[in-house]
A = this chain, B = another copy of it.
Amino acid sequence: MPQPVRISLDAMGGDHGPSVVVAGAALSHARHPDTTFVFHGDNAVIGPLLEAEPKLKAVSSVDHTDVAIAMDEKPSQALRHGRWKSSMWLTLDAVKKELCDVAVSAGNTGALMAMAKFNLRTMAGIDRPAIAALWPTLRGESVVLDMGATIGADAPQLVDMAVMGSAMARILFDMERPTVGLLNVGVEEMKGLEEIREAGRILRESQFPGMDYRGFVEGTDIGKGTVDVVVTEGFAGNIALKTAEGTAKQIGQYLRSAMSRTWRARLGYLLAKPAFDALREKVDPRRANGGIFLGLNGVVIKSHGGTDAEGFAAAVDLGYDMVRYGLLTKISETLSHHRRTSVIEVAS
């Protein structure tokens, strides 16, 4: 049996705190018995919750702290008051100190990213981290990054993202060479900011192992699942994600009001209810829960703040997979191939 995956949890993060975190860990542990857990936060709350989950308790420890980061704290404020001692910091610090393999928090994104950068630092060869999301598509799921870790990106940074996103996709989708596209606009002759064109050129010419670069994709291609990995800078990525969320909610709302307007529609809805339930599950944000911070010296998973135990468990599962199948190694290998190739090019 392989070494267990050691999971570091911010028990105080998210809208619901320890109740969701402990219940979520229990669900994930049932699926992956080769895991151990460290809960960071208030032992007075976590302890009793663990008592109710004896199987989980057997593989868990609690690292007590009174300090928690609020969901609305600004990153700089969170760093000032929470460094060294908050549950969020300690969750990351356990990975930094190699006591754990992966950190999972449902706490606020900005604070988590600020602390992760400060504590874990970026990987050798990576300029800065990115946030990747799992995007449900007509073909299954795609990895989309950056969802807003940084605004703007130059060509080498876009290339780094393609490397990191494809490493993640290799693990998630269990494939050798996931397809990769650069998000761009479809207006002829405006195609491409200079940096996107340049990133495209590098990706085409570099022939990275573990990646099948397919060129530019447009906004409509994300939902279609045209490629396994969609790369864009953080501003456009965040706008795309939020716009898609808004559109899904909007259509859901239209549907609900259409289905309640007449008795025929209401009856039809009742008959088709299992189908509607299946549809709801398909677009359930909990299923695709968990952004992942890529490019740091450690695996960090960000769960949605408002999620429930099932959603938090999905985020823990994601972290488990990334560790078990060697995300960081896969990124480093591809990067060092690239550096070698570049050196050869320069030398020749």
Q: Among the listed stretches A28-36, A117-125, A257-265, A304-312, which one makes contact with chain B, having 4 or more residues with CB under 8 Å of it?
A: A257-265
A223 within 8 Å of B (CB atoms): yes
Contact-size category for A: 35 or more
The residue in chain B whose Cβ has the minimal distance to the Cβ of A110 is B188
- Give, as a whole number of angstroms, the nearest-CB distance from A237 to chain B: 9
B151 lies within 8 A of A193 (CB): yes
Majority SS at the chain A contact face: helix
B246 lies within 8 A of A221 (CB): yes
B220 lies within 8 A of A245 (CB): yes
Contact code string A267-284 (vs B, CB < 8 Å = 1, else 0):
111111111101100110
A240 within 8 Å of B (CB atoms): yes
B75 lies within 8 A of A239 (CB): no
* Interface of chain A residues 232 through 255 with chain B (CB within 8 A): 232, 234-236, 238-251, 253-255
- Give, as a whole number of angstroms, the nearest-CB distance from A11 to chain B: 22
Contact of A246 among B185, B219, B269 (CB under 8 A): B219
B264 lies within 8 A of A185 (CB): no
- Give, as a whole number of angstroms, the nearest-CB distance from A320 to chain B: 26
- Give, as a whole number of angstroms, the nearest-CB distance from A268 to chain B: 3
A232 proximity list for chain B (CB < 8 A): 239
Known contacts: A253-B138, A283-B251. The answer to whether A272 contacts B278 by CB under 8 A is no
Contact code string A294-319 (vs B, CB < 8 Å = 1, else 0):
00000000000000000000000000
A235 proximity list for chain B (CB < 8 A): 185, 193, 236
B275 lies within 8 A of A261 (CB): yes
List 10 extra interface pairs beyond A138-B250, A243-B243, CB under 8 A: A74-B189, A137-B250, A219-B241, A219-B243, A221-B246, A223-B243, A244-B244, A258-B279, A264-B272, A265-B271
15 contacting pairs across A/B (C-beta < 8 A)? A110-B190, A219-B240, A220-B246, A223-B243, A224-B249, A239-B240, A243-B243, A258-B275, A258-B279, A259-B272, A261-B275, A262-B274, A264-B271, A267-B272, A268-B271
Q: List A residues at the B interface (Cβ < 8 Å).
A: 74-76, 108-110, 137-138, 148, 150-152, 183, 185-190, 193, 218-224, 232, 234-236, 238-251, 253-255, 258-259, 261-262, 264-265, 267-276, 278-279, 282-283
